[in-house]
Structure 1
Amino acid sequence: MQDTDNRVDPALVAGNRKKLAGYAARHFGWSVQGKVATITLNRPERKNPLTFDSYAELRDLFGQLRHATDVHAVVVTGAGGNFCSGGDVHEIIGPLVQLEAPELLMFTRMTGDLVKTMRACPQPIVAAIDGVCAGAGAIVAMASDLRLGTTRSKTAFLFNRVGLAGCDMGACALLPRIIGQGRASELLYTGRSMTGEEGERWGFFNRLCEPDAVLAEAQKLATDIASGPTFANGITKTMLHQEWAMTIDQAIEAEAQAQAICMMTEDFTRAYKAFVARQKPVFEGN
Protein backbone atom coordinates (compact mmCIF):
# COMPACT_ATOMS: atom_id res chain seq x y z
CA MET A 1 0.00 0.00 0.00
CA GLN A 2 2.94 2.39 0.51
CA ASP A 3 3.80 2.27 -3.20
CA THR A 4 0.20 3.07 -4.03
CA ASP A 5 0.19 5.98 -1.59
CA ASN A 6 3.28 7.42 -3.27
CA ARG A 7 1.42 7.65 -6.57
CA VAL A 8 -1.32 9.96 -5.34
CA ASP A 9 -1.45 13.44 -3.90
CA PRO A 10 -0.62 13.44 -0.15
CA ALA A 11 -3.75 15.47 0.55
CA LEU A 12 -5.88 12.74 -1.01
CA VAL A 13 -4.12 10.09 1.06
CA ALA A 14 -4.59 12.12 4.23
CA GLY A 15 -8.30 12.47 3.62
CA ASN A 16 -9.05 8.95 2.48
CA ARG A 17 -6.47 6.57 3.94
CA LYS A 18 -5.63 5.90 7.55
CA LYS A 19 -4.26 3.20 9.82
CA LEU A 20 -6.53 1.94 12.58
CA ALA A 21 -4.34 -0.62 14.35
CA GLY A 22 -3.59 1.98 17.00
CA TYR A 23 -7.22 3.04 17.46
CA ALA A 24 -8.07 3.44 21.16
CA ALA A 25 -11.62 2.19 21.67
CA ARG A 26 -13.48 3.60 24.67
CA HIS A 27 -16.61 1.49 24.88
CA PHE A 28 -15.56 -1.97 23.64
CA GLY A 29 -12.42 -3.97 23.00
CA TRP A 30 -10.39 -3.39 19.82
CA SER A 31 -7.33 -5.27 18.64
CA VAL A 32 -5.61 -5.84 15.30
CA GLN A 33 -3.62 -8.96 14.50
CA GLY A 34 -2.10 -8.95 11.04
CA LYS A 35 -4.81 -7.62 8.75
CA VAL A 36 -7.75 -8.66 10.97
CA ALA A 37 -9.38 -6.43 13.56
CA THR A 38 -11.42 -7.87 16.43
CA ILE A 39 -14.18 -5.91 18.14
CA THR A 40 -15.13 -7.37 21.53
CA LEU A 41 -18.28 -6.22 23.28
CA ASN A 42 -16.97 -6.47 26.81
CA ARG A 43 -19.52 -5.94 29.53
CA PRO A 44 -19.81 -9.63 30.41
CA GLU A 45 -21.47 -9.02 33.77
CA ARG A 46 -24.53 -7.77 31.81
CA LYS A 47 -24.11 -10.04 28.78
CA ASN A 48 -22.50 -7.22 26.80
CA PRO A 49 -25.38 -4.79 26.25
CA LEU A 50 -25.02 -1.72 24.05
CA THR A 51 -25.30 1.83 25.34
CA PHE A 52 -25.81 5.20 23.63
CA ASP A 53 -22.03 5.62 23.71
CA SER A 54 -21.17 2.19 22.30
CA TYR A 55 -23.77 2.53 19.53
CA ALA A 56 -22.26 5.85 18.49
CA GLU A 57 -18.65 4.66 18.70
CA LEU A 58 -19.39 1.49 16.71
CA ARG A 59 -21.15 3.57 14.07
CA ASP A 60 -18.21 5.96 13.82
CA LEU A 61 -15.59 3.20 13.81
CA PHE A 62 -17.24 1.26 11.00
CA GLY A 63 -17.39 4.55 9.13
CA GLN A 64 -13.65 5.02 9.60
CA LEU A 65 -12.98 1.47 8.40
CA ARG A 66 -13.91 2.62 4.89
CA HIS A 67 -10.57 4.45 4.86
CA ALA A 68 -8.41 1.91 6.73
CA THR A 69 -5.38 0.57 4.88
CA ASP A 70 -4.25 -1.90 7.54
CA VAL A 71 -7.54 -3.69 8.33
CA HIS A 72 -8.84 -6.05 5.64
CA ALA A 73 -11.40 -8.03 7.64
CA VAL A 74 -13.23 -7.58 10.95
CA VAL A 75 -14.39 -10.02 13.62
CA VAL A 76 -17.15 -9.04 16.06
CA THR A 77 -17.60 -11.04 19.26
CA GLY A 78 -18.69 -10.77 22.87
CA ALA A 79 -16.89 -11.46 26.13
CA GLY A 80 -17.77 -14.02 28.77
CA GLY A 81 -19.68 -16.61 26.76
CA ASN A 82 -22.34 -14.29 25.32
CA PHE A 83 -22.49 -12.13 22.21
CA CYS A 84 -24.77 -9.21 23.11
CA SER A 85 -28.01 -8.88 25.06
CA GLY A 86 -29.18 -5.84 23.09
CA GLY A 87 -29.72 -2.29 24.28
CA ASP A 88 -28.99 -1.82 27.98
CA VAL A 89 -32.32 -1.80 29.83
CA HIS A 90 -31.22 0.79 32.36
CA GLU A 91 -28.95 2.96 30.21
CA ILE A 92 -31.06 2.98 27.02
CA ILE A 93 -34.60 1.63 27.49
CA GLY A 94 -35.26 3.57 30.67
CA PRO A 95 -34.20 6.96 29.25
CA LEU A 96 -36.06 6.34 25.96
CA VAL A 97 -39.49 6.26 27.64
CA GLN A 98 -38.86 9.83 28.81
CA LEU A 99 -38.05 11.26 25.37
CA GLU A 100 -40.22 13.09 22.86
CA ALA A 101 -40.59 12.07 19.22
CA PRO A 102 -37.70 14.15 17.76
CA GLU A 103 -35.18 12.66 20.21
CA LEU A 104 -36.57 9.15 19.73
CA LEU A 105 -36.11 9.53 15.97
CA MET A 106 -32.56 10.76 16.60
CA PHE A 107 -31.88 7.55 18.49
CA THR A 108 -33.48 5.16 15.98
CA ARG A 109 -31.63 6.85 13.14
CA MET A 110 -28.35 6.49 15.04
CA THR A 111 -28.90 2.76 15.54
CA GLY A 112 -29.86 2.36 11.90
CA ASP A 113 -26.72 4.22 10.89
CA LEU A 114 -24.67 1.52 12.64
CA VAL A 115 -26.11 -1.07 10.26
CA LYS A 116 -25.55 1.27 7.30
CA THR A 117 -21.87 1.73 8.15
CA MET A 118 -21.41 -2.00 8.71
CA ARG A 119 -22.84 -2.70 5.26
CA ALA A 120 -20.89 0.19 3.66
CA CYS A 121 -17.43 -0.64 5.00
CA PRO A 122 -15.54 -2.72 2.42
CA GLN A 123 -14.10 -5.19 4.93
CA PRO A 124 -16.03 -8.47 5.29
CA ILE A 125 -17.33 -8.77 8.86
CA VAL A 126 -17.36 -12.14 10.61
CA ALA A 127 -19.49 -12.46 13.76
CA ALA A 128 -18.45 -15.05 16.37
CA ILE A 129 -21.65 -15.75 18.28
CA ASP A 130 -21.96 -17.72 21.50
CA GLY A 131 -24.72 -17.62 24.07
CA VAL A 132 -27.16 -14.71 24.13
CA CYS A 133 -27.54 -12.76 20.90
CA ALA A 134 -30.64 -10.64 21.37
CA GLY A 135 -32.26 -7.43 20.19
CA ALA A 136 -29.65 -5.05 18.85
CA GLY A 137 -27.08 -7.83 19.30
CA ALA A 138 -29.05 -9.99 16.85
CA ILE A 139 -29.10 -7.01 14.47
CA VAL A 140 -25.31 -6.62 14.65
CA ALA A 141 -24.99 -10.34 13.91
CA MET A 142 -27.47 -10.03 11.05
CA ALA A 143 -25.61 -7.04 9.57
CA SER A 144 -22.34 -8.98 9.51
CA ASP A 145 -21.33 -10.76 6.32
CA LEU A 146 -20.63 -14.17 7.86
CA ARG A 147 -21.73 -15.70 11.15
CA LEU A 148 -20.26 -18.56 13.16
CA GLY A 149 -22.35 -19.83 16.05
CA THR A 150 -22.45 -22.55 18.68
CA THR A 151 -25.05 -25.06 19.80
CA ARG A 152 -25.76 -22.83 22.79
CA SER A 153 -26.31 -19.70 20.69
CA LYS A 154 -29.72 -18.13 21.28
CA THR A 155 -30.58 -15.46 18.74
CA ALA A 156 -33.73 -13.42 19.37
CA PHE A 157 -35.19 -10.41 17.58
CA LEU A 158 -37.26 -9.68 20.65
CA PHE A 159 -38.55 -6.20 19.85
CA ASN A 160 -42.23 -7.16 19.97
CA ARG A 161 -41.70 -8.49 23.50
CA VAL A 162 -41.02 -4.94 24.65
CA GLY A 163 -43.98 -3.49 22.74
CA LEU A 164 -42.11 -2.55 19.57
CA ALA A 165 -42.34 -3.59 15.94
CA GLY A 166 -39.97 -6.12 14.48
CA CYS A 167 -38.93 -3.58 11.84
CA ASP A 168 -35.83 -2.37 13.69
CA MET A 169 -32.50 -1.34 12.15
CA GLY A 170 -33.31 -3.00 8.83
CA ALA A 171 -34.50 -6.34 10.21
CA CYS A 172 -37.48 -6.59 7.86
CA ALA A 173 -35.19 -6.05 4.87
CA LEU A 174 -32.11 -8.04 5.85
CA LEU A 175 -33.39 -11.02 7.84
CA PRO A 176 -35.76 -12.40 5.15
CA ARG A 177 -32.89 -12.31 2.67
CA ILE A 178 -30.79 -14.45 5.00
CA ILE A 179 -33.28 -17.04 6.29
CA GLY A 180 -36.38 -16.54 4.13
CA GLN A 181 -39.62 -14.58 4.54
CA GLY A 182 -41.56 -17.17 6.53
CA ARG A 183 -38.83 -17.90 9.05
CA ALA A 184 -38.02 -14.22 9.47
CA SER A 185 -41.72 -13.48 10.01
CA GLU A 186 -41.90 -16.10 12.74
CA LEU A 187 -38.93 -14.67 14.62
CA LEU A 188 -40.05 -11.04 14.22
CA TYR A 189 -43.69 -11.70 15.21
CA THR A 190 -42.96 -13.95 18.18
CA GLY A 191 -39.62 -12.68 19.46
CA ARG A 192 -38.63 -16.25 20.28
CA SER A 193 -35.04 -17.41 20.34
CA MET A 194 -33.59 -19.21 17.32
CA THR A 195 -31.37 -22.05 18.50
CA GLY A 196 -27.91 -22.63 17.13
CA GLU A 197 -29.08 -25.73 15.25
CA GLU A 198 -31.98 -23.82 13.72
CA GLY A 199 -29.70 -20.96 12.81
CA GLU A 200 -27.33 -23.26 10.95
CA ARG A 201 -30.15 -25.14 9.24
CA TRP A 202 -31.86 -21.92 8.18
CA GLY A 203 -28.68 -20.33 6.85
CA PHE A 204 -28.23 -17.67 9.54
CA PHE A 205 -25.03 -19.35 10.71
CA ASN A 206 -22.45 -20.42 8.16
CA ARG A 207 -21.51 -23.18 10.56
CA LEU A 208 -21.48 -24.11 14.24
CA CYS A 209 -18.31 -24.39 16.32
CA GLU A 210 -17.43 -25.48 19.81
CA PRO A 211 -17.92 -22.59 22.26
CA ASP A 212 -14.24 -22.44 23.18
CA ALA A 213 -13.26 -22.42 19.49
CA VAL A 214 -15.79 -20.09 17.87
CA LEU A 215 -13.68 -16.93 18.18
CA ALA A 216 -10.54 -18.62 16.89
CA GLU A 217 -12.50 -20.09 13.98
CA ALA A 218 -13.96 -16.69 13.16
CA GLN A 219 -10.52 -15.09 13.26
CA LYS A 220 -9.11 -17.85 11.04
CA LEU A 221 -11.91 -17.32 8.53
CA ALA A 222 -11.33 -13.56 8.61
CA THR A 223 -7.59 -14.11 8.15
CA ASP A 224 -8.21 -16.33 5.14
CA ILE A 225 -10.44 -13.65 3.62
CA ALA A 226 -7.95 -10.89 4.44
CA SER A 227 -5.21 -12.78 2.61
CA GLY A 228 -7.26 -12.64 -0.58
CA PRO A 229 -7.63 -9.78 -3.09
CA THR A 230 -9.05 -7.27 -0.63
CA PHE A 231 -9.99 -4.59 -3.16
CA ALA A 232 -11.96 -7.20 -5.09
CA ASN A 233 -13.52 -8.51 -1.87
CA GLY A 234 -14.74 -5.00 -1.14
CA ILE A 235 -16.32 -4.87 -4.58
CA THR A 236 -18.00 -8.22 -3.91
CA LYS A 237 -19.45 -6.89 -0.65
CA THR A 238 -20.68 -3.74 -2.39
CA MET A 239 -22.37 -5.71 -5.16
CA LEU A 240 -23.95 -8.20 -2.76
CA HIS A 241 -25.52 -5.25 -0.99
CA GLN A 242 -26.50 -3.11 -3.97
CA GLU A 243 -27.92 -5.90 -6.12
CA TRP A 244 -30.81 -6.45 -3.72
CA ALA A 245 -32.43 -3.42 -5.35
CA MET A 246 -31.54 -4.26 -8.98
CA THR A 247 -33.22 -6.20 -11.74
CA ILE A 248 -31.26 -9.14 -13.15
CA ASP A 249 -30.28 -7.10 -16.21
CA GLN A 250 -29.14 -4.20 -14.04
CA ALA A 251 -27.14 -6.57 -11.84
CA ILE A 252 -25.41 -8.19 -14.82
CA GLU A 253 -24.39 -4.77 -16.18
CA ALA A 254 -23.24 -3.57 -12.75
CA GLU A 255 -21.17 -6.71 -12.31
CA ALA A 256 -19.65 -6.25 -15.76
CA GLN A 257 -18.49 -2.77 -14.78
CA ALA A 258 -17.28 -3.93 -11.34
CA GLN A 259 -15.34 -6.85 -12.76
CA ALA A 260 -13.71 -4.65 -15.40
CA ILE A 261 -12.47 -2.40 -12.60
CA CYS A 262 -11.05 -5.40 -10.74
CA MET A 263 -9.26 -6.50 -13.91
CA MET A 264 -7.24 -3.27 -13.73
CA THR A 265 -5.84 -4.11 -10.29
CA GLU A 266 -2.33 -5.35 -9.68
CA ASP A 267 -3.75 -8.28 -7.72
CA PHE A 268 -5.36 -9.57 -10.93
CA THR A 269 -1.97 -9.42 -12.67
CA ARG A 270 -0.32 -11.10 -9.67
CA ALA A 271 -2.82 -13.95 -9.83
CA TYR A 272 -2.14 -14.49 -13.55
CA LYS A 273 1.64 -14.46 -13.09
CA ALA A 274 1.38 -16.86 -10.14
CA PHE A 275 -0.79 -19.22 -12.20
CA VAL A 276 1.73 -19.21 -15.04
CA ALA A 277 4.53 -19.90 -12.55
CA ARG A 278 2.42 -22.59 -10.82
CA GLN A 279 2.62 -20.68 -7.54
CA LYS A 280 0.05 -19.47 -5.06
CA PRO A 281 -0.65 -15.75 -5.55
CA VAL A 282 0.24 -13.34 -2.77
CA PHE A 283 -2.32 -10.55 -2.86
CA GLU A 284 -1.52 -7.05 -1.66
CA GLY A 285 -4.91 -5.40 -1.91
CA ASN A 286 -4.21 -3.05 -4.82
Structure 2
Amino acid sequence: MTETSTLDPALAAGNRKQLAGYRAEHFLWEVKEGVATITLDRPDRKNPLTFDSYAELRDLFGQLKYATDVHAVVVTGAGGNFCSGGDVHEIIGPLVQLKAPDLLMFTRMTGDLVKTMRACPQPIVAAVDGICAGAGAIVAMASDIRFGTARSKTAFLFNRVGLAGCDMGACAFLPRLIGQGRASELLYTGRSLGGEEGERWGFFNRLCAPEDLLAQAQALALELAQGPTFANGITKTMLHQEWAMTIEQAIEAEAQAQAICMLTEDFSRAYHAFVAKQKPRFEGN
Protein backbone atom coordinates (compact mmCIF):
# COMPACT_ATOMS: atom_id res chain seq x y z
CA MET A 1 0.00 0.00 0.00
CA THR A 2 1.18 3.51 -0.67
CA GLU A 3 1.72 5.86 2.23
CA THR A 4 -1.11 8.31 2.84
CA SER A 5 0.06 11.93 2.95
CA THR A 6 -1.35 14.53 5.31
CA LEU A 7 -3.05 17.32 3.40
CA ASP A 8 -2.34 20.83 4.58
CA PRO A 9 -5.60 22.17 6.14
CA ALA A 10 -5.28 25.48 4.30
CA LEU A 11 -5.00 23.69 0.96
CA ALA A 12 -7.95 21.46 1.81
CA ALA A 13 -10.08 24.44 2.87
CA GLY A 14 -9.77 26.04 -0.53
CA ASN A 15 -10.15 22.91 -2.64
CA ARG A 16 -12.34 20.41 -0.83
CA LYS A 17 -15.93 20.81 0.26
CA GLN A 18 -19.01 18.77 1.04
CA LEU A 19 -22.13 19.41 -1.01
CA ALA A 20 -24.60 16.90 0.43
CA GLY A 21 -26.10 19.67 2.54
CA TYR A 22 -26.36 22.13 -0.35
CA ARG A 23 -29.77 23.84 -0.44
CA ALA A 24 -30.86 24.31 -4.02
CA GLU A 25 -33.23 27.17 -4.75
CA HIS A 26 -34.41 26.48 -8.29
CA PHE A 27 -34.46 22.66 -8.55
CA LEU A 28 -34.32 19.65 -6.24
CA TRP A 29 -30.97 18.35 -4.96
CA GLU A 30 -30.40 15.13 -3.04
CA VAL A 31 -27.23 13.20 -2.24
CA LYS A 32 -27.32 9.56 -1.21
CA GLU A 33 -24.35 7.16 -1.05
CA GLY A 34 -22.20 9.51 -3.09
CA VAL A 35 -24.80 9.98 -5.84
CA ALA A 36 -26.34 13.42 -6.31
CA THR A 37 -29.72 13.64 -8.03
CA ILE A 38 -30.74 16.92 -9.64
CA THR A 39 -34.45 17.06 -10.42
CA LEU A 40 -35.79 19.88 -12.56
CA ASP A 41 -39.02 20.50 -10.72
CA ARG A 42 -41.55 22.62 -12.58
CA PRO A 43 -43.76 19.79 -13.87
CA ASP A 44 -46.71 22.04 -14.70
CA ARG A 45 -44.56 23.64 -17.45
CA LYS A 46 -42.55 20.52 -18.36
CA ASN A 47 -39.60 21.72 -16.26
CA PRO A 48 -38.31 24.72 -18.24
CA LEU A 49 -35.13 26.54 -17.27
CA THR A 50 -35.06 30.16 -16.13
CA PHE A 51 -32.28 32.72 -15.82
CA ASP A 52 -32.03 31.73 -12.15
CA SER A 53 -31.90 27.97 -12.70
CA TYR A 54 -29.34 28.31 -15.50
CA ALA A 55 -27.06 30.30 -13.20
CA GLU A 56 -27.53 28.01 -10.22
CA LEU A 57 -26.87 24.88 -12.28
CA ARG A 58 -23.76 26.48 -13.74
CA ASP A 59 -22.46 27.41 -10.31
CA LEU A 60 -23.32 24.06 -8.73
CA PHE A 61 -21.60 22.01 -11.43
CA GLY A 62 -18.65 24.36 -11.02
CA GLN A 63 -18.50 23.54 -7.30
CA LEU A 64 -18.64 19.80 -7.93
CA LYS A 65 -14.97 19.71 -8.87
CA TYR A 66 -14.24 20.39 -5.19
CA ALA A 67 -16.81 17.98 -3.71
CA THR A 68 -15.56 15.13 -1.55
CA ASP A 69 -18.96 13.55 -0.96
CA VAL A 70 -20.41 13.47 -4.51
CA HIS A 71 -18.96 10.92 -6.91
CA ALA A 72 -21.64 10.68 -9.61
CA VAL A 73 -24.61 12.82 -10.67
CA VAL A 74 -28.06 11.99 -12.06
CA VAL A 75 -30.07 14.70 -13.83
CA THR A 76 -33.78 14.14 -14.34
CA GLY A 77 -37.10 15.95 -14.54
CA ALA A 78 -40.32 15.75 -12.55
CA GLY A 79 -43.75 14.72 -13.77
CA GLY A 80 -42.86 12.50 -16.73
CA ASN A 81 -40.82 15.06 -18.67
CA PHE A 82 -37.13 15.99 -18.66
CA CYS A 83 -36.97 19.67 -19.65
CA SER A 84 -38.84 21.79 -22.20
CA GLY A 85 -35.92 24.20 -22.66
CA GLY A 86 -35.81 27.88 -21.79
CA ASP A 87 -39.03 29.18 -20.28
CA VAL A 88 -40.97 30.99 -23.01
CA HIS A 89 -42.29 33.68 -20.67
CA GLU A 90 -39.32 34.07 -18.30
CA ILE A 91 -36.48 33.79 -20.85
CA ILE A 92 -37.59 33.94 -24.47
CA GLY A 93 -39.86 36.98 -24.03
CA PRO A 94 -37.26 39.07 -22.17
CA LEU A 95 -34.51 38.14 -24.65
CA VAL A 96 -36.40 39.82 -27.48
CA GLN A 97 -36.00 43.14 -25.62
CA LEU A 98 -32.26 42.90 -24.91
CA LYS A 99 -29.33 44.51 -26.71
CA ALA A 100 -26.29 42.62 -27.99
CA PRO A 101 -24.07 42.89 -24.86
CA ASP A 102 -26.82 41.50 -22.63
CA LEU A 103 -27.70 38.77 -25.12
CA LEU A 104 -24.06 37.72 -25.22
CA MET A 105 -24.02 37.63 -21.42
CA PHE A 106 -26.96 35.23 -21.56
CA THR A 107 -25.54 32.95 -24.27
CA ARG A 108 -22.20 32.81 -22.48
CA MET A 109 -23.98 31.85 -19.26
CA THR A 110 -25.78 28.99 -20.98
CA GLY A 111 -22.55 27.84 -22.59
CA ASP A 112 -20.81 27.98 -19.24
CA LEU A 113 -23.32 25.46 -17.91
CA VAL A 114 -22.11 22.96 -20.51
CA LYS A 115 -18.49 23.82 -19.72
CA THR A 116 -18.94 23.14 -16.01
CA MET A 117 -20.81 19.90 -16.71
CA ARG A 118 -17.87 18.70 -18.78
CA ALA A 119 -15.25 20.04 -16.35
CA CYS A 120 -16.59 18.40 -13.20
CA PRO A 121 -14.92 15.02 -12.59
CA GLN A 122 -18.12 13.21 -11.70
CA PRO A 123 -19.82 11.13 -14.42
CA ILE A 124 -23.27 12.58 -15.19
CA VAL A 125 -26.17 10.27 -16.06
CA ALA A 126 -29.22 11.90 -17.65
CA ALA A 127 -32.55 10.14 -17.05
CA VAL A 128 -34.70 11.41 -19.91
CA ASP A 129 -38.44 10.82 -20.10
CA GLY A 130 -41.00 12.67 -22.17
CA ILE A 131 -40.13 16.12 -23.50
CA CYS A 132 -36.42 16.92 -23.79
CA ALA A 133 -36.21 20.06 -25.90
CA GLY A 134 -33.93 23.01 -26.57
CA ALA A 135 -31.68 23.61 -23.58
CA GLY A 136 -33.04 20.39 -22.08
CA ALA A 137 -31.69 18.47 -25.06
CA ILE A 138 -28.36 20.23 -24.55
CA VAL A 139 -28.21 19.22 -20.86
CA ALA A 140 -28.87 15.61 -21.87
CA MET A 141 -26.27 15.87 -24.64
CA ALA A 142 -23.65 17.30 -22.25
CA SER A 143 -24.13 14.42 -19.81
CA ASP A 144 -21.79 11.45 -19.99
CA ILE A 145 -24.48 8.78 -20.25
CA ARG A 146 -28.13 9.05 -21.28
CA PHE A 147 -30.99 6.70 -20.37
CA GLY A 148 -34.28 7.32 -22.14
CA THR A 149 -37.74 5.84 -22.57
CA ALA A 150 -39.67 4.85 -25.66
CA ARG A 151 -41.80 7.96 -25.19
CA SER A 152 -38.81 10.33 -24.97
CA LYS A 153 -38.94 13.19 -27.48
CA THR A 154 -35.63 14.98 -27.87
CA ALA A 155 -35.57 18.10 -30.03
CA PHE A 156 -32.81 20.60 -30.72
CA LEU A 157 -35.49 23.04 -31.79
CA PHE A 158 -33.50 26.26 -32.10
CA ASN A 159 -34.21 26.38 -35.85
CA ARG A 160 -37.93 26.46 -35.09
CA VAL A 161 -37.61 29.73 -33.21
CA GLY A 162 -35.46 31.39 -35.85
CA LEU A 163 -32.09 30.60 -34.27
CA ALA A 164 -29.06 28.67 -35.46
CA GLY A 165 -28.49 25.11 -34.33
CA CYS A 166 -25.08 26.12 -32.95
CA ASP A 167 -26.25 26.56 -29.36
CA MET A 168 -24.33 25.67 -26.19
CA GLY A 169 -21.87 23.47 -28.09
CA ALA A 170 -24.42 21.47 -30.10
CA CYS A 171 -22.42 21.63 -33.33
CA ALA A 172 -19.38 20.25 -31.52
CA PHE A 173 -20.99 17.61 -29.29
CA LEU A 174 -23.89 16.19 -31.24
CA PRO A 175 -21.93 15.00 -34.32
CA ARG A 176 -19.58 13.16 -32.00
CA LEU A 177 -22.51 11.35 -30.41
CA ILE A 178 -24.61 10.43 -33.43
CA GLY A 179 -22.59 11.35 -36.53
CA GLN A 180 -22.39 14.44 -38.73
CA GLY A 181 -25.29 13.62 -41.04
CA ARG A 182 -27.75 12.76 -38.30
CA ALA A 183 -26.72 15.76 -36.22
CA SER A 184 -27.14 17.99 -39.27
CA GLU A 185 -30.68 16.72 -39.79
CA LEU A 186 -31.71 17.41 -36.21
CA LEU A 187 -30.08 20.84 -36.07
CA TYR A 188 -31.41 22.01 -39.44
CA THR A 189 -34.98 20.79 -38.91
CA GLY A 190 -35.51 20.90 -35.15
CA ARG A 191 -37.58 17.72 -35.39
CA SER A 192 -38.10 15.42 -32.42
CA LEU A 193 -35.95 12.33 -32.01
CA GLY A 194 -38.06 9.52 -30.60
CA GLY A 195 -36.76 7.24 -27.88
CA GLU A 196 -36.29 4.12 -29.98
CA GLU A 197 -34.71 6.10 -32.81
CA GLY A 198 -32.50 7.86 -30.28
CA GLU A 199 -31.23 4.54 -28.98
CA ARG A 200 -30.55 3.27 -32.51
CA TRP A 201 -28.65 6.46 -33.31
CA GLY A 202 -26.54 6.21 -30.17
CA PHE A 203 -27.95 9.25 -28.39
CA PHE A 204 -29.38 7.02 -25.66
CA ASN A 205 -27.27 4.31 -24.07
CA ARG A 206 -30.39 2.35 -23.22
CA LEU A 207 -34.15 2.65 -22.97
CA CYS A 208 -36.01 1.93 -19.75
CA ALA A 209 -39.64 1.63 -18.75
CA PRO A 210 -40.74 5.06 -17.47
CA GLU A 211 -41.38 3.70 -13.99
CA ASP A 212 -37.86 2.19 -13.84
CA LEU A 213 -35.94 5.02 -15.50
CA LEU A 214 -34.73 6.96 -12.47
CA ALA A 215 -33.93 3.84 -10.47
CA GLN A 216 -31.81 2.43 -13.29
CA ALA A 217 -29.99 5.72 -13.78
CA GLN A 218 -29.30 5.96 -10.05
CA ALA A 219 -28.16 2.33 -9.93
CA LEU A 220 -25.57 2.98 -12.63
CA ALA A 221 -24.51 6.20 -10.92
CA LEU A 222 -24.09 4.29 -7.64
CA GLU A 223 -21.96 1.68 -9.38
CA LEU A 224 -19.75 4.46 -10.73
CA ALA A 225 -19.64 6.21 -7.36
CA GLN A 226 -18.42 3.01 -5.73
CA GLY A 227 -15.68 2.57 -8.33
CA PRO A 228 -12.22 4.20 -8.55
CA THR A 229 -13.58 7.73 -8.65
CA PHE A 230 -10.25 9.49 -9.08
CA ALA A 231 -9.58 7.30 -12.12
CA ASN A 232 -13.13 7.90 -13.40
CA GLY A 233 -12.46 11.63 -13.24
CA ILE A 234 -9.29 11.15 -15.28
CA THR A 235 -11.26 9.12 -17.85
CA LYS A 236 -13.83 11.91 -18.18
CA THR A 237 -11.09 14.52 -18.55
CA MET A 238 -9.30 12.54 -21.24
CA LEU A 239 -12.49 11.75 -23.16
CA HIS A 240 -13.09 15.49 -23.40
CA GLN A 241 -9.55 16.74 -23.96
CA GLU A 242 -8.63 14.20 -26.61
CA TRP A 243 -11.14 15.68 -29.05
CA ALA A 244 -8.54 18.31 -29.88
CA MET A 245 -5.49 16.01 -29.94
CA THR A 246 -3.72 14.04 -32.62
CA ILE A 247 -3.43 10.28 -32.05
CA GLU A 248 0.21 10.74 -31.03
CA GLN A 249 -0.71 13.48 -28.54
CA ALA A 250 -3.58 11.41 -27.16
CA ILE A 251 -1.40 8.33 -26.60
CA GLU A 252 1.21 10.41 -24.77
CA ALA A 253 -1.46 12.18 -22.69
CA GLU A 254 -2.97 8.83 -21.74
CA ALA A 255 0.47 7.46 -20.80
CA GLN A 256 0.92 10.35 -18.38
CA ALA A 257 -2.64 10.09 -17.03
CA GLN A 258 -2.39 6.35 -16.46
CA ALA A 259 0.97 6.70 -14.71
CA ILE A 260 -0.68 9.13 -12.28
CA CYS A 261 -3.51 6.65 -11.65
CA MET A 262 -0.91 3.95 -10.90
CA LEU A 263 0.22 6.06 -7.94
CA THR A 264 -3.22 5.89 -6.29
CA GLU A 265 -4.09 3.71 -3.35
CA ASP A 266 -7.08 2.42 -5.33
CA PHE A 267 -4.68 0.82 -7.83
CA SER A 268 -2.81 -0.83 -4.97
CA ARG A 269 -6.09 -1.93 -3.36
CA ALA A 270 -7.21 -3.53 -6.61
CA TYR A 271 -3.97 -5.51 -6.90
CA HIS A 272 -4.07 -6.79 -3.32
CA ALA A 273 -7.76 -7.68 -3.65
CA PHE A 274 -7.00 -9.63 -6.83
CA VAL A 275 -4.23 -11.55 -5.09
CA ALA A 276 -6.58 -12.32 -2.18
CA LYS A 277 -9.37 -13.25 -4.63
CA GLN A 278 -11.59 -10.53 -3.20
CA LYS A 279 -13.56 -7.67 -4.69
CA PRO A 280 -11.66 -4.36 -4.30
CA ARG A 281 -13.17 -1.62 -2.18
CA PHE A 282 -12.30 1.66 -3.84
CA GLU A 283 -12.02 4.89 -1.88
CA GLY A 284 -11.22 7.40 -4.62
CA ASN A 285 -7.64 8.10 -3.58
Q: Tell me, yes or no, whether TM beats 0.5.
A: yes
Between the aligned partners of 2:14 and 2:201, the Cα distance in structure 1 is 42
Give the equivalent residue in structure 2 for 1:123. Answer: 122
Q: Which runs of 5+ in 1 are unaligned?
A: none
Give the equivalent residue in structure 2 for 1:157. Answer: 156
Q: CA deviation at 1:199?
A: 0.6
Amino acid at match of 2:260: I
Deviations 1:181-217, CA, capped at 9 Å, x for gaps: 0000000000000000111001100000000110000
Q: Does 1:133 align with 2:132?
A: yes
Between the aligned partners of 1:271 and 1:86, the Cα distance in structure 2 is 43
Amino acid at match of 1:87: G
**Percent identity between the two aligned chains:** 84
SS in 1 for 2:211: coil
- TM-score, reference length from structure 1: 0.98
Between the aligned partners of 1:77 and 1:181, the Cα distance in structure 2 is 27
State how 1:69-148 maps to structure 2 within 5 Å. 69-148=68-147
SS in 2 for 1:213: helix
Between the aligned partners of 2:247 and 2:194, the Cα distance in structure 1 is 34
Give the equivalent residue in structure 2 for 1:219. Answer: 218
Q: Does 1:266 align with 2:271?
A: no
Deviations 1:92-115, CA, capped at 9 Å, x for gaps: 000000000000000000000000
Q: Which runs of 5+ in 2 are unaligned?
A: none
Give the equivalent residue in structure 2 for 1:238. Answer: 237
Q: CA deviation at 1:219?
A: 0.1
Between the aligned partners of 2:267 and 2:26, the Cα distance in structure 1 is 39
Give the equivalent residue in structure 2 for 1:41. Answer: 40
Q: Does 1:276 align with 2:280?
A: no
Q: Does 1:61 align with 2:21?
A: no
Deviations 1:106-145, CA, capped at 9 Å, x for gaps: 0000000000000000000000000000000000000000
State how 1:252-263 maps to structure 2 within 5 Å. 252-263=251-262
Amino acid at match of 2:274: F
Between the aligned partners of 1:11 and 1:78, the Cα distance in structure 2 is 38
Between the aligned partners of 1:200 and 1:99, the Cα distance in structure 2 is 39
- TM-score, reference length from structure 2: 0.98
Between the aligned partners of 2:209 and 2:7, the Cα distance in structure 1 is 46
SS in 1 for 2:193: strand
Give the equivalent residue in structure 1 for 2:166. Answer: 167
Give the equivalent residue in structure 1 for 2:248. Answer: 249
Give the equivalent residue in structure 1 for 2:186. Answer: 187
Between the aligned partners of 1:11 and 1:195, the Cα distance in structure 2 is 50
Which contiguous aligned blocks of 4+ residues in structure 1 show a shift greater than 3 angstroms? Answer: none
Between the aligned partners of 2:213 and 2:249, the Cα distance in structure 1 is 38
Q: CA deviation at 1:8?
A: 1.2
Between the aligned partners of 2:179 and 2:196, the Cα distance in structure 1 is 16
Between the aligned partners of 2:135 and 2:81, the Cα distance in structure 1 is 13
Amino acid at match of 1:154: K
| Matched residue count | 283
Q: CA deviation at 1:258?
A: 0.1
Amino acid at match of 1:40: T
